[in-house]
Chain A
Amino acid sequence: MQITIEGLSQIYKNGKKALDDVSLQINHGMFGLLGPNGAGKTTLMRILVTLMKPTKGIVKVNELDLLKNRREVRAMLGYLPQEFKFFSKLTTWEFLDYVASLAGLTHGRQRKIAVDEMLENVGLFEARDRMANKLSGGMKRRLGIAQALIGDPKIIVVDEPTTGLDPEERIRFRNLLADLTQKDIIIILSTHIVSDISSTCTDMALLNNGELAYKGSPDDLVESVKGHTFRIEAIDSELEEIKQKYPVIATLPAENGWEVEIVADELKGFSGQEIEPNLEHAYVYFMDYKLHANPDEFRGNGGTK
């Protein structure tokens, strides 16, 4: 399984560039898509799931052109949009059954088994006869995951899948995906929650302002910020200054004040201890320092979904 993206651009009618000449290759396994709000993640995903036609560029799925072979590509897809709340008047079971029937499970009895199993997997079996609209936020999310996974899709695209899930559910979801990575499938995951990626993804991309800012493994990204993450011990009066000077990753109360984790090119005026970076550090450092270098790029940020 391989998705090849070449020179993908999306310009909206109001002239806004949501994607700007993005080229990317996604191989099988879990692929993380990271980026601030409006970076173009959702646009990229919607293009990938054929809900949107790009202004320019080519997307190929195993040599199948996404623009020309929608039928075949769609048959491979599973998708969970960011917003997934409002259903027509169907029960949980009916909704999933409907999706399953469209996802290629044409055989009635087999579909019934698959739907029941999937509901079991996402912990909605008990709620199968409840109206989908009446489910709680978390349950709706789980139903969303279930419908994205049903029918053995080859490409699973999930947009912010874990928002609204409690930690236990998040772990369950992660495991669910992890099981799938054994097969030759691609899972594309966009998220704000960096730890979702660090714990599951083998490959990732960082989008900023419609442009591809980074592409590689999460480990490499972390590696690249080594020596730029610090922990400072600060008293109340210093905290404000630190916050103004550096991006703060975490602030923890300590004996004499605060322990503040920051990212910085170099630490000036404060004494601190260099710490081992994680993906979160890397992401913030990357966003703040690497991309800051080119301030033009930040203009007009925000708003794209």
Chain B
Amino acid sequence: MLSLYNIWNVARIETKTLLRSWFFRIFAILSVVILVFFNVGILTKAGHSPWMFRGIPASIPYMNLLMLNVVQAAIAVFLASDFLKRDKKLDTTEVIYMRSLANSDYVLGKTLGILLVFMALNVIVLLVALIFNIFFTDVALNFGVYLLYPLLISLPTLVFIFGLSFLFMVTIQNQPVTFIVLLGYIALTVFFLNQKFYHLLDYMSFYVPLMYSEFVGFGDLTNILIHRGIYFFLGLGFIFLTILMIKRLPQSVVMTNASRFLAFLFIIVGLGLGVVYVLNFSSGKTLRSKMITLDDRYFNEAKVSPVRTDLILNHSGNEITCSAGLLFKNESNRPITKYVFRLNPGLKINRISNSKGQIPFKRDIHIIEIQPVQPLAPRMLDSLQIDYRGTIDERACYVDVDEETREEPFRYFLFRVQKRYSFIEPDYLLLSPEANWYPESGINYSAKHPEIHTQSFTKFSLTVKTQPGLIPVSQGKPVKTGDGEYKFAPEFPLPGLSLVAGKYVEKSISVDSVDYHVYFLKGHDYFAPYLSEIDDTLAALIRENKKDYEVDLDLPYLYPDLNLVETPIQLFSYKRFWTEAQETVQPEMVLLPELGILLSSGDFKQFLSWQERRQKRSNVVETPREIQSNMFQRFVRDTFLGGQGFNRFRGNVGLRTPVYYKIFPNYFTFVNYIDAPKWPIFNVAMESYLSSKVSVKRSMGFRFNEGLSSQEKTNIELSEKSLPELLADPDKKEVIPDIIKEKGAYLFTLLQSRLGEEKFPGFLSKILSENHFKSLNVDQIISTLKKEFNFNLTPYVENWYASKKLPGFLIGDIKANQVLDGERTRYQVRFKISNIESVAGLVEVSFRMGGRGRFGMGGSSDNEVKRIINMEGNQNKEIGIILDYQPRVMTVNTFISRNLPATMTKMFIDLKLAKNVKLFDGEKIVDSPVELQTPDEIIVDNEDPGFETFSTTSESFIKKLFKISNSKDNKKYIGLTFWRPPKQWRATIHANFYGRLVKSGYFIRSGDGSKKVAWNAKIPTSGYYDIYYYASKISMPWMRRGGDKKRRPESEQYHFKIYHDDGEDDTILNMGNAENDWVFLGSYYISAGDAKVELTNESKARIVYADAVKWVKRQ
């Protein structure tokens, strides 16, 4: 029989022994010390960690335990395997083994002993965390999670590791081997296999979504328990197997049989849970694929157009009961014989009726099919009432999102969060249109044509009955009609209705015609102290922001309210290419993350300390009021207006998921819709164009960090495939948003250039305002353009949408001078431009004046002059521009073209006065194209066939074994990774490289000279040739200002080998002195035939670039 007394005895002694082992002591002390420092760094005022590290109460224990767990898992292997080794080594063990003690008592006692020691360490670490939590942070204390995390994180990990180590030890009887095998296993699971099978192998719970929300807890406790249960039970199973296999004669048959049974049972339970875990995920996958098949089948069915949807919703426990009154219309030209609606499959229909009574229906997953008694004739109305109840099956949300993206963890820093799309909990409710919580007409998604996605506007009303104490938020003003009963009647037709209800506290402020409400969980108004000084100016600040934003956007905010609603941290949304909006933004509603922790500017405390430090440094004294108002402005701009583009880079270290809380969709997406069946991305292109007017432009620096710019990616993709082809290619989904953005910019710049900069904005805002809250057919836009501007957009759009050919521009003969225009000093810039392709295109030339700011930073400058040039196919133009101020930078944007990079810049240092220059402002068509090369020059660029690289690629064995490939490896161009240059010659794009259309070059990490490139040319006639190398100066973005030259010491030499008639010459070029231009390498006699120049990667510079070589025949 199992003797608790014996188990405890063995455990007691094991604990004592372990606590005396120096190995454990050192490990324990080190862990605690490191974690103390870590907590100091993260949580105290001395640290500067972002808000997300400490914003949410659970994050402190979660972070501490995750870090401890990784180390303790490894240490546990050693200590666990040590017990059996000790038993073997110590001759005194025999006097224990011969005592009346069941093997199960012994092994369980040992396990318990080790476990107690480790759990004690966990408790100490948690106490440290608790002390920091209470005394050094203003984060609320959630004591419950301090108890839950060790049970969910450490316990299963330890039990599993103990069991596994024991089992290995009793099987192979060798501690070093056990240790190596198990550490190898740990490394394998942590570094390579952690993502496989939905993190099934992640026994350390490094990737288990354990973030705890103050709203709803873990998000999916069942899933967590299953996952942790796998390891807990497998561990137990292994421990019981160890009991059977330990080298000691068993004491009783009963116990042996019981151990055998339990070992078997636990392992079966563990494996069973593993199967359940995987099935849970794959069942979602199956469901979605079935839904997609159904969607495809119903996609082409004629849809009724909703007119009104009146919802009565009863929320109780984990269920909603709903009654939906639908009024709809046939807006097509043909009678509709079948009504198709969709509703989340978790919601079961009780009854469908119309004015005449109950009617039959067919339900297939989410599809509801109803046969009307008689077909609905065009322009006729019909109505239905659908009663249903149930919960939201979140597996049915975002069916269009591919499984890979779906499986990507929602992570920031070390934390993993369960992805949730909707909530129906006793205390909380969140239903957005994605949850499909009310019946919607027809199918709006087809996997075959994901680009076809239409939007309609419906007039909604909603009655909510929920438990008293829950405050519901929806579109429209809430009217309380009873205890826990509210009515909402949104003023305008909406593309969708959303409902949130929770134990919210509401604060509001009215500014002009809009009521701004903030809904947060009680106690979550951590921001309140940071607004204390600006109570009276808040309205003015809001007004100012709104005004500025609307001036930039040239669109009005139409809703009477704006609700900022705090939501559980688990709420997740995906970006779709057919819209800028994400589910986190709803009509007149922004669903903010819990305690603002995903917001880069949500950390007011840190901002305050920055400000204080800045003040000290610069001796500027700002009043608390000024600081607070700056803080508020920054928060509003970063979060709602400009978006998180720029700040995300620094602030949200480790956030893998883009977040979206922009207010923009409330200005366009939820207000207008342009229906363009022939060109499905027309609406999103316009959306993208409009939103780009108010979004923070990414700095150039950002671009380097990411690799290629959106424009470059677009041009590379579109030079290979047309837009419809790309849209249909699932592999290209990542670049589609970039392409749409560039396409949008192109189309509307074109319109702007055709309509004129003055008329275009007026035209746009007029046509949009005339069509608020309804779908607008693109034909109407086209006909208006024809009528009012005599401009036929159709061929342009057709070409824009479907054309596979791209224009290509050469720019040359750039001349800039100071000139005298009468008495005035002005500046003349002239250049030539050629479109060497047969299709038309656009070029935008802009000048930045004066010495303002750093290049590339911030948004548009007031000091900017822009000119749009329309270029027909194979056209050459000469352009003249007269400026009133000295231009500093000229930027030429070729939009969608074969040019890489598509944007070029030219800097102007102080311009010289040129006399007797004829001023020219405008453009004229000329015959001769831009020539970049004289007839006596032979140029071999890295894009030319004469260029070759010599370096072998290698891939690590493990990567090969587990087929972990880097998609970057097979791309033609990679980003300029200054901090980690490639070990092989790789191509990249940069404006400073030589090239006709494609300004590219190769780069490599400098080395011993074994990796070479060669330029091979065919020399037509024998003679003396001057050989030049194009010394492209590529500077790191953060060294842009002047410091560049100093950082290029004399030692930055390139090693060339030049082949000529008398053999080969080794030549050294000092890049430190070279300008970004052709540099003379030497003069040699070369006979007609092959000529070659080689460059090696030998250099003291960090990176060696290979670009172009030129042979010029001497006259």
Q: Do A and B come from one complex?
A: yes
Query: With contacts defined as CB atoms under 8 Å apart, how many contacts are there between chain A and chain B in the complex?
Result: 87
Interface residues of A in 40-59 (CB under 8 A from B): 49-53
Could you pull out 7 A-B pairs where Cβ atoms are within 8 angstroms? A74-B251, A79-B98, A81-B94, A84-B95, A103-B99, A104-B100, A148-B95
Tell me whether A98 is interfacial, beta carbon within 8 Å.
Answer: yes
Q: Enumerate chain B residues within 8 angstroms of A106, measured Cβ to Cβ.
A: 5
Query: Which of A12-20, A87-95, A201-209, A244-252 is the contact stretch?
Result: A87-95
Interface residues of B in 77-121 (CB under 8 A from A): 86, 89-92, 94-102
Tell me whether B609 is interfacial, beta carbon within 8 Å.
Answer: no
> Is the Cβ of B98 less than 8 Å from the Cβ of A49?
yes
Tell me whether B290 is interfacial, beta carbon within 8 Å.
Answer: no
Bound complex: CA of A24 vs CA of B100, how far in Å?
24
Chain A: CB-nearest residue to B83: A88
Q: Enumerate chain B residues within 8 angstroms of A132, measured Cβ to Cβ.
A: 92
CB proximity of A121 to chain B, nearest CB, Å: 17
CB proximity of A145 to chain B, nearest CB, Å: 11
Q: Enumerate chain B residues within 8 angstroms of A103, measured Cβ to Cβ.
A: 99-100
Interface residues of A in 105-159 (CB under 8 A from B): 106, 132, 144, 147-148
Bound complex: CA of A295 vs CA of B671, how far in Å?
111
Q: Enumerate chain A residues within 8 angstroms of B252, measured Cβ to Cβ.
A: 70-71
> Is the Cβ of B98 less than 8 Å from the Cβ of A74?
yes
Interface residues of B in 1-58 (CB under 8 A from A): 5-6, 9, 13, 16-17, 20-21
Q: Enumerate chain B residues within 8 angstroms of A104, measured Cβ to Cβ.
A: 100
Q: Enumerate chain B residues within 8 angstroms of A75, measured Cβ to Cβ.
A: 100
Q: Enumerate chain B residues within 8 angstroms of A90, measured Cβ to Cβ.
A: 13, 16-17
Tell me whether B249 is interfacial, beta carbon within 8 Å.
Answer: yes
Tell me whether A85 is interfacial, beta carbon within 8 Å.
Answer: yes
Tell me whether B873 is interfacial, beta carbon within 8 Å.
Answer: no
Bound complex: CA of A104 vs CA of B101, how far in Å?
10
Bound complex: CA of A127 vs CA of B710, how far in Å?
79
CB proximity of B393 to chain A, nearest CB, Å: 55
> Is the Cβ of A83 less than 8 Å from the Cβ of B17?
no
Instruction: Knowing A80-B95, A147-B95 are in contact, say whether A102-B90 is a contact too (CB < 8 A).
Output: no
CB proximity of A79 to chain B, nearest CB, Å: 5
Q: Identify which of B9, B92, B100, B251 contacts A87 (C-beta below 8 A).
A: B92
Bound complex: CA of A128 vs CA of B4, how far in Å?
27
Tell me whether A77 is interfacial, beta carbon within 8 Å.
Answer: yes
Q: Enumerate chain A residues within 8 angstroms of B560, measured Cβ to Cβ.
A: none
Tell me whether B250 is interfacial, beta carbon within 8 Å.
Answer: yes
Q: Enumerate chain B residues within 8 angstroms of A95, measured Cβ to Cβ.
A: 92
Bound complex: CA of A94 vs CA of B9, how far in Å?
11
Bound complex: CA of A111 vs CA of B87, how far in Å?
25
CB proximity of A176 to chain B, nearest CB, Å: 17
CB proximity of B85 to chain A, nearest CB, Å: 11
Bound complex: CA of A89 vs CA of B19, how far in Å?
9
> Is the Cβ of B100 less than 8 Å from the Cβ of A71?
yes
> Is the Cβ of B5 less than 8 Å from the Cβ of A98?
no
Interface residues of chain A, those whose CB is within 8 Å of chain B, are 49-53, 68, 70-72, 74-75, 77, 79-81, 83-90, 94-95, 98-99, 101-104, 106, 132, 144, 147-148
Bound complex: CA of A152 vs CA of B496, how far in Å?
84
Q: Enumerate chain A residues within 8 angstroms of B99, measured Cβ to Cβ.
A: 74, 77, 99, 102-103
Bound complex: CA of A41 vs CA of B101, how far in Å?
25
> Is the Cβ of A51 less than 8 Å from the Cβ of B86?
no
Q: Mark B55-87, 1 if CB is under 8 A from A, else 0.
A: 000000000000000000000000000000010
> Is the Cβ of B17 less than 8 Å from the Cβ of A99?
no
Looking at A83, A88, A132, A147, which has the most chain B CB atoms within 10 Å of its CB? A88
Known: A70-B249, A79-B94. 14 other contacts (CB 8 A): A49-B98, A51-B97, A71-B102, A74-B98, A74-B101, A77-B99, A77-B100, A81-B94, A86-B92, A87-B90, A88-B92, A89-B21, A99-B95, A99-B96
Instruction: Knowing A81-B95, A89-B20 are in contact, say whether A102-B101 is a contact too (CB < 8 A).
Output: yes
Q: Enumerate chain B residues within 8 angstroms of A70, measured Cβ to Cβ.
A: 100, 249-252
Bound complex: CA of A102 vs CA of B90, how far in Å?
18
Bound complex: CA of A257 vs CA of B101, how far in Å?
60
Q: Enumerate chain A residues within 8 angstroms of B249, measured Cβ to Cβ.
A: 50-53, 70
Bound complex: CA of A98 vs CA of B252, how far in Å?
22
Instruction: Knowing A74-B100, A102-B9, A102-B101 are in contact, say whether A86-B89 is a contact too (CB < 8 A).
Output: yes
Looking at B13, B16, B101, which has the most chain A CB atoms within 10 Å of its CB? B13
CB proximity of B94 to chain A, nearest CB, Å: 5
Number of residues in B with C-beta < 8 Å to the partner? 28
> Is the Cβ of B100 less than 8 Å from the Cβ of A84?
no
Q: Enumerate chain B residues within 8 angstroms of A88, measured Cβ to Cβ.
A: 13, 17, 86, 90, 92
CB proximity of B27 to chain A, nearest CB, Å: 16
CB proximity of A82 to chain B, nearest CB, Å: 9
Q: Enumerate chain B residues within 8 angstroms of A49, measured Cβ to Cβ.
A: 94, 98
CB proximity of A77 to chain B, nearest CB, Å: 6
CB proximity of A47 to chain B, nearest CB, Å: 10
Bound complex: CA of A104 vs CA of B3, how far in Å?
12
Chain A: CB-nearest residue to B9: A101
Q: Mark B244-255, 1 if CB is under 8 A from A, else 0.
A: 000011111100
> Is the Cβ of B13 less than 8 Å from the Cβ of A94?
yes
> Is the Cβ of B21 less than 8 Å from the Cβ of A102?
no
Q: Identify which of A68, A86, A148 contacts B91 (C-beta below 8 A).
A: A86
Bound complex: CA of A50 vs CA of B92, how far in Å?
15
Q: Enumerate chain B residues within 8 angstroms of A101, measured Cβ to Cβ.
A: 9
Q: Enumerate chain B residues within 8 angstroms of A94, measured Cβ to Cβ.
A: 13, 16
Chain A: CB-nearest residue to B106: A102
Q: Enumerate chain B residues within 8 angstroms of A147, measured Cβ to Cβ.
A: 95
CB proximity of B106 to chain A, nearest CB, Å: 10
Instruction: Knowing A53-B249, A94-B16 are in contact, say whether A77-B98 is a contact too (CB < 8 A).
Output: yes
Chain A: CB-nearest residue to B86: A88
Bound complex: CA of A87 vs CA of B248, how far in Å?
18
Bound complex: CA of A264 vs CA of B97, how far in Å?
45
CB proximity of A123 to chain B, nearest CB, Å: 19
CB proximity of A278 to chain B, nearest CB, Å: 33
Bound complex: CA of A76 vs CA of B718, how far in Å?
88
> Is the Cβ of A51 less than 8 Å from the Cβ of B94?
yes
Bound complex: CA of A144 vs CA of B92, how far in Å?
9
Bound complex: CA of A53 vs CA of B248, how far in Å?
10
Looking at B86, B90, B96, B98, which has the most chain A CB atoms within 10 Å of its CB? B98
Bound complex: CA of A49 vs CA of B98, how far in Å?
6
Pick the 5 closest A-B CB pairs, nearest first: A74-B100, A102-B99, A75-B100, A89-B20, A83-B91
Q: Enumerate chain B residues within 8 angstroms of A98, measured Cβ to Cβ.
A: 9, 13, 96
Q: Enumerate chain A residues within 8 angstroms of B102, measured Cβ to Cβ.
A: 71
CB proximity of A142 to chain B, nearest CB, Å: 14
Chain B: CB-nearest residue to A77: B98
Looking at B86, B94, B95, B96, which has the most chain A CB atoms within 10 Å of its CB? B95
Bound complex: CA of A53 vs CA of B97, how far in Å?
13
Q: Enumerate chain B residues within 8 angstroms of A83, measured Cβ to Cβ.
A: 91
Chain A: CB-nearest residue to B99: A102
Q: Enumerate chain A residues within 8 angstroms of B248, measured Cβ to Cβ.
A: 51
Bound complex: CA of A164 vs CA of B327, how far in Å?
102
Bound complex: CA of A106 vs CA of B9, how far in Å?
10
> Is the Cβ of B91 less than 8 Å from the Cβ of A102?
no
Bound complex: CA of A89 vs CA of B6, how far in Å?
19
Chain B: CB-nearest residue to A72: B100
